[in-house]
Structure 1
Amino acid sequence: MSKKEILKKVTGTKHLKSSFKKREAIILRDYLALERTTLANERTLFAYLRSGIYMVIAGFAFLELKQFMDLEWLSYILFFFSLILFVFGTTRFIILKRKLEVYYNNMENENEESKKDKILESK
């Protein structure tokens, strides 16, 4: 097994690298499903950002409160995990957005080609 295959197996990046493939003509239901996926992607990004912001706020709370000076290390851990959430959420958002853009672009190109074909057939 190559290092790349082992890395895929361990990290599970196979799911992030998969691409959408068109199998047949797109219909309204499919188009609406793509729109729902786009909106869900945005909601997920906002959830990651919101969680990260909450962790930053909690970290500042642990730093500022005198009763929790023993737990100062916890605030730095919260800052670290909030940074991880920001990066991970943004990365997932960008990856899925690019995949959807490729699919939308393919769909638009096919729609234009079908329109041209219909115009040529009518002449």
Structure 2
Amino acid sequence: MKQEEKQTLSISEKLAIDRTKLANERTFLAFFRSFVVMLSSGLAIVKLQFLRNIYVIGIALMIIGLMLLIYG
């Protein structure tokens, strides 16, 4: 059934499907990139001894990063 449906699609419809897939992939990669940056920034703040006064911000960045990974 799916093979028959693919054969009946026009070129512009196939290209639209490909564009949609690529847009979804770009969105996922943007969320993943944001997760990595927030998690690494949070870990750096938590691990560095002289940044103890902003320790809570480091924890918050890690939590937000994990939420981005789950949402994305």
Q: TM-score, normalised by structure 1?
A: 0.50
Paired position in structure 1 for 2:66: 83
Q: CA RMSD in A?
A: 1.2
Paired position in structure 1 for 2:31: 48
Aligned-partner Cα distance in 1 for 2:43–2:28: 23
Paired position in structure 2 for 1:73: 56
Q: TM-score, normalised by structure 2?
A: 0.82
Larger radius of gyration between Structure 1 and Structure 2:
1
Runs of 4+ residues deviating >6 angstroms: none
Q: Aligned match of 1:60 in 38, 43, 53?
A: 43
Q: Identical aligned pairs, as a percentage? A: 32
**Match of 2:9, SS?**
coil
- The offset of 1:64, in angstroms, is 1.8
- The offset of 1:60, in angstroms, is 0.9
> Gaps spanning 5+ residues in structure 2: where?
1-7
Aligned-partner Cα distance in 2 for 1:29–1:44: 22
Aligned-partner Cα distance in 2 for 1:67–1:48: 30
